[in-house]
Amino acid sequence: MWKDLGLNLEKHDVLLNALAKGYGDLFMTQKNRPAGMGYFDFVISEVHGLRIKELVDRKKAGKKIIGAFCLYVPEELVYAADATMVGLCGGADFSIPDAETVLPRNICPLVKSFFGFKVGATCPYFNSCDMVVGETTCDAKKKVYEVLADYTPTYVMEIPHKVDTEQSKALWLSEIKLFKQQMETLTGNVIEKDSLKEAIRLINEKKKAMKRVSDTRRASPTPISGLDALLVNQMSFYDDVNRFTLKTNELADELEKRNADGVGVGDPSKPRLMFSGCPMAIPNWKLHSIIESTGVPVVAEESCIGSRYFTDLVEPKGDSMDSLLEAIWDRYHNISCACFTPNDDRVTKVVDMAKEYNASGVVYNVLQYCHTYNIEAIKVDKALKKAGVPMLKVETDYGSEDVEQIRTRVEAFTEMLSPV
């Protein structure tokens, strides 16, 4: 199977060994994990095995696989066309040397990492894709999609950067319609109202289950570690949607019971930290693992691998195709990415979330060279200060050189926080 996918087998083996070791060291050494995490341990152990086989089998049955890196790609339209969407790996240092054979060095590690997985032929998800769908969000991504098109079929959606104008709405809606056509052409399936309604239901159910898990983390002690919750969020982009929803709801049942019984993983006398900023594509577990190694739990993620993904649902107000597509726009234009301007909505959301999750402080993650999240940190910091919530900005990449330095900063930060 790996050969058919055109993978570099030698490098892929090195990657798998590194992943297994990293996962074992970080996740399996945690104490008192919820039993429901057993499923997610299994999924990660098979993320380059059974799950790829499922995708390959779908391809053999004539179905299409779509790869994406951004929440702005409307997955409802992918599923309505009977295709499958997968997130693409972009959270590992491992693939960056391959990327740097083509790309400049001084760009965000997430972009270099995903590009390197394609160039180095080490990501079976990438190599399973019939099409990669990109978007005009940050400069790094939109320019790299141009280069990526030389390696794999790539389609780019234009995402406006000012979201609250009539022109923006018109452009975005027309992009959603074009994407619908694109999916119909690629799959040969016409997207009917009923299939779109069913796809909206499917994705909404997935997000509701993720929100249930997230809501349980408001309790003290938190019933699940930030690392485990992060993994669930990361897996949501890879796993079969129905199975993931079922297992995530089972996990939520268990966490709700833990809360009722006062069972948790953290020490309730410690401060609670919220995470905000750039997304943590799999297998980027760096900041969560550093923070939690100091004994302080991470209780929420204001991130695309987190609340920005599951908070809002697509809620059609009518039954026509136009109403369904407008409902998609309505939900998607509310994802407050730092690529928007102005983006006060995100600032408000971060503050509200810190309060809802009783966070004693916020760790703000900036991936190196990510100007949008880096500069937006100024406004977020100011608003959090006003609300009485301290913020620590950490600018980092996927390397391990700065781990001890970050740990020292996190320890100093949490020492001055009081538990909420």
- Which residues here bind ligand BJ8, judged by CB under 6 A? 70-72, 108, 110-111, 137-138, 140-141, 278-279, 304, 335, 337, 339, 367, 370, 372-373
Spatial separation of the C-alpha atoms in residues 187 and 226, rounded to whole Å: 38
Closest separation between CB of residue 308 and ligand BJ8, Å? 6
418-211-129-240 Cα dihedral, nearest 10 degrees: 130
User: Minimal distance in Å, beta carbon 72 to ligand BJ8?
Assistant: 6
3-state secondary structure of 291: helix
Please identify, using beta-carbon distances, which residue of 357 and 373 lies nearer to ligand BJ8. 373
Which of 18, 173, 151, 171 shows the shortest CA–CA distance to 88?
151
User: Least separation, in Å, of the C-beta of 177 and ligand BJ8?
Assistant: 20
Q: In the chain, helix, strand, coil percent, each to 5? A: 50, 10, 40
Residue among 135, 90, 21, 98 at smallest CA distance from 397: 90
By C-beta, is 81 or 304 nearer to ligand BJ8? 304
For the record, the structure tokens of 115 come out as 């590009």
Q: Which is nearer to ligand BJ8, 37 or 280 (CB)?
A: 280
Q: Which is nearer to ligand BJ8, 250 or 330 (CB)?
A: 330
Distance CA 126, CA 413 (A): 39
Nearest distance, CB of residue 69 and ligand BJ8, angstroms? 6
Using a 10 angstrom Cβ sphere, with 0-12 exposed, 13-18 middle and 19 or more buried, the burial of residue 149 is: middle
Contact criterion met (CB below 8 Å) for 341 and 161: yes
CB of residue 242 to ligand BJ8, shortest distance in Å: 24
Least CB distance to ligand BJ8 at residue 149 (A): 17
Rounded CA-CA distance 251/253 in Å is 5
DSSP assignment letter at 45: H
Residue number, 254 or 395, with CB nearest to ligand BJ8: 395
d(CA 135, CA 142): 6
Secondary structure (DSSP) of 364-378: EEEETT-HHHHHHHH
Classified as helix, coil or strand, 129 is coil
3-state secondary structure of 68: strand
Q: Which of the 8 DSSP states describes residue 33?
A: -
Smaller CB distance to ligand BJ8: residue 224 or 328? 328
The nearer residue to ligand BJ8, 109 or 264, going by C-beta atoms, is 109
Of the pair 129, 157, the CB lying nearest ligand BJ8 is at 157
Concatenating the DSSP letter of every residue in 84-114 gives EEEE-----GGGHHHHTTTS-SSS-HHHHHH
Give whichever of 27 and 94 is closer to ligand BJ8, judged by the CB atom.
94
Residue 192: CB minimum distance to ligand BJ8, A? 28
Residues 6+ apart with CB under 8 A from 315: 327, 330, 331
- Closest distance between ligand BJ8 and the C-beta of residue 328, in Å? 15
Q: Which is nearer to ligand BJ8, 187 or 372 (CB)?
A: 372
Instruction: Kindly state the smallest distance separating residue 113's Cβ from ligand BJ8, in Å.
Output: 10
User: In this structure, are residues 52 and 6 in contact, taking their beta carbons and an 8 Å threshold?
Assistant: no
Place of tokens 């691998």: 305
CA–CA dist 296, 364 (Å, integer): 15
Q: Write down the least CB distance from residue 335 to ligand BJ8, Å.
A: 6
